[in-house]
Every structure is written in C-alpha cells, then in structure tokens.
Amino acid sequence: MTNNRKERRKQRRKQKNERKSEEKKEREVAESLVDQVRTDIIELQTVIGNQNTEQTNQLFEKIIDKLNRIEEEIKDLKLENNKLRVEYNELKIKYNKLQSDHDELKLDHNVLKLEHNEMKLKFDEMKLKFVKSEREKEVNRKCRDFVGRFLFKLSRKLNYQVICMLSEEYEYGNRQEVKNKIEAKLGFVKMKAYEFKQISDFRLTSNDYSHGIKNQSAYDALIMIDNMDFPKEMAHLKAPFTKVLKALQIWDTEN
C-alpha cells in the first residue's frame, strides 16, 4: 500500500513537471513572436521615416500576420490551459477518491488486525487451558492406580474395611486421633496427615479417569514421578506421591 502511494505521488509530480515544461515552451514561442513584432515596428518606423509606401504596406502586412498568429497562439494556449485545468480537476477528484478508499481500507485493515489479535489471544488462552487440562488428565491417569493401592493398604493396616471409612473418620470423626494413627503408621516415610488428605482428595477427583498404567512397580512409578511435568495446580502432589511410592516399596514386599 505504501509503495503504491509513493508511485502515485511520483507520477503526479512527473505530470506536473511536464505541464510546466509545455507551458514554458508555449510562452517562449509567444514571447518570440512578440519580439519579432517589436522589431518589425521599429523597422516600420524607420521606413516611414523614409516615406517608402510599398515597404510600409509590406511591413504592415507582416505585422498583421504575426499579430494574427500571436492571437491564434494565445487562443490555443487558453484552450490548452482550460483542458489541462479540467484534467487536473478530474485527477484531483480521482486522487481524493483513492485517498478516501485508502483511508477506508486502512481502517478496515486496523479493525481486522484488532479482531485477529483478539482471536489469537482467545486461541492462546484456550490452548493454554487445553494443555493444562491434558497435563492434569495425564497426572490423574498415570497416578490413580498406585494411589488407590496405597490407600487400600493403609486403610487395612489401620483396621478399616475401605478407604472411604478412614477418610470420613478423619474428616468428620475424631480427627486428632485419626491424624495420630496415620502419622504413626507412615512415620517411616515422614508423611503428615494433611498429605494423606491431599492423596485421598486426589483419588476421589480421579475417579472419572481410567487406569493409565496397571500393575506398575513402585520403583518404576518413582522414576515416572521424578520425571513427570506436573501442572502448577498439582505440583504440591509430587512430594506426597513420592512418599506414597516409598511406602508401597516396603508394603508390596510384605505380601
């Protein structure tokens, strides 16, 4: 768009310079004829002074002829000038229209650019949400199995039939007593009761996901956890997951 505008300006300057050059040439022709008439008049004065009638008539004829030519030149110049003025006005109208079209296109371009940026921003936000969701799904899918095994074994070791009974007792029963039991049983991996709560909540929220890795050894799962890219919102689970797997390494050898 910028290059086209520069080219149009260059073309207009060229046309303007050409018009000026033509007008200059035409003025020079007219001025030359005027100079010739002036010279003839001076000569006429000299001849009249000599009272040469025939020469006087000839000079008058020459003067009249040149004056007629000058008059024709002036008429032609006026016509040409009017024609150029009309063409100039037409070009000016076209230029103004092009300028107006350019401004409208520029405005449309800016609007489209703004809409594009807004759509790109929304797309990036959706992409981030999608990536975050996929990473959360991956953590849920890959860790659900060993967390379930851990909670099952922990509940049995604390004399509960199912993990939900242990979780409800911790949540709604004698919390301090259950807390002490949990921390005492898991003291060898230094797991706190609040970490047990995090693990238990994770297991409940991951119920909608299928088991991603079945029968995975605790050792392999530890390596997986160590190299897993946790989403920011789930990064707090890495430490309790590690403790869960260290506990499973010992408990799995007991059976």
Dig out the tokens for 240 from the structure: 């309790």
pLDDT value at 53 more than 80 = no
Dig out the tokens for 82 from the structure: 């009017």
Residues belonging to the chain: 255
Q: What does pTM read for this prediction?
A: 0.54
Predicted pLDDT of residue 77: 82
The DSSP code for 207 is T
Determine contact, residues 70/33, Cβ cutoff 8 Å: yes
Q: Angle at the Cα of 34 (from 29 to 40), degrees rounded to 5?
A: 130
Nearest Cα neighbor of 243 from 177, 180, 194, 178 is: 194
pLDDT in tens, 137-146: 888 888 988 9
pLDDT value at 9 more than 60 = yes
Dig out the tokens for 60 from the structure: 């008058």
Angle, nearest 10°, between helix axes 175-185 and 53-157? 90
User: In whole angstroms, what is the distance from residue 182 CA to residue 164 CA?
Assistant: 14
Predicted pLDDT of residue 23: 67
Q: What confidence tier does 13 reach under pLDDT thresholds 50, 70, 90?
A: confident
Q: What is the chain's mean pLDDT, rounded?
A: 83
pLDDT in tens, 194-204: 999 999 999 88
62 vs 125 pLDDT, higher one: 125
User: In whole angstroms, what is the distance from residue 202 CA to residue 255 CA?
Assistant: 26
Alpha helices in the chain (DSSP H): 2-50, 53-157, 163-172, 175-185, 193-205, 218-227, 238-251
User: In whole angstroms, what is the distance from residue 179 CA to residue 183 CA?
Assistant: 6
> Quick one: average pLDDT of 69-78?
81
pLDDT value at 116 more than 60 = yes
pLDDT in tens, 21-33: 776 676 666 667 6
Dig out the tokens for 233 from the structure: 């919102």
**Distance separating the N- and C-terminal Cα atoms of the chain:** 79
